[in-house]
Amino acid sequence: MNISWFGKLLNSGRIVGPAISLLLLLGFVSMAYGQASNAVNAICTLYLAVKSVIFILGLVLIILGGAMYAGAHVLPGSTKGSVQGYGMGMILGGVIGVIIAVAAPYILTVITGNSNISAACGAS
């Protein structure tokens, strides 16, 4: 039985392994390319949620936390300390929420590579 040099090369595994790896890589790249539009839609949904909900929630937390902190001054000792702690926690959470909402367009612009995330998502 005479096997050609190509048959010997295939039987040795020198081509089969890299060929399968190349085919798998091409399959993964094509799947990733097909999912790019879904990723942009997900990022736009995230951007719109951050822009509207988190910013408003952060402002509400700041206002309620300030009112709670100020109102705690009329309470007796240990209750005063715990209510002031909750108020400061609400204020801090609100400030962090507002920072996230303000920084989100820049961060999403860097992630997506678009020059303007607002225009890409159709937001006003």
- Mind listing the pLDDT tens digit for each residue in 64-117? 999 999 999 898 888 898 999 999 999 999 998 888 888 877 877 777 676 766
Q: In this structure, how many other beta carbons lie within 10 angstroms of the beta carbon of residue 116? A: 10
User: Can you tell me the distance from the alpha carbon of 110 to that of 47, in angstroms, rounded to the nearest whole number?
Assistant: 13
Q: What is the pLDDT of residue 69?
A: 92
Confidence of residue 25 (pLDDT cuts 50, 70, 90): low
Q: Please choose, from the candidates 106, 95, 107, the residue with its C-alpha nearest in 3D space to the C-alpha of residue 57.
A: 95
Q: Is the per-residue pLDDT at 119 higher than 90?
A: no
Residue 104 in contact with residue 47, Cβ under 8 Å?
yes
- Mind listing the pLDDT tens digit for each residue in 31-40? 555 555 666 6
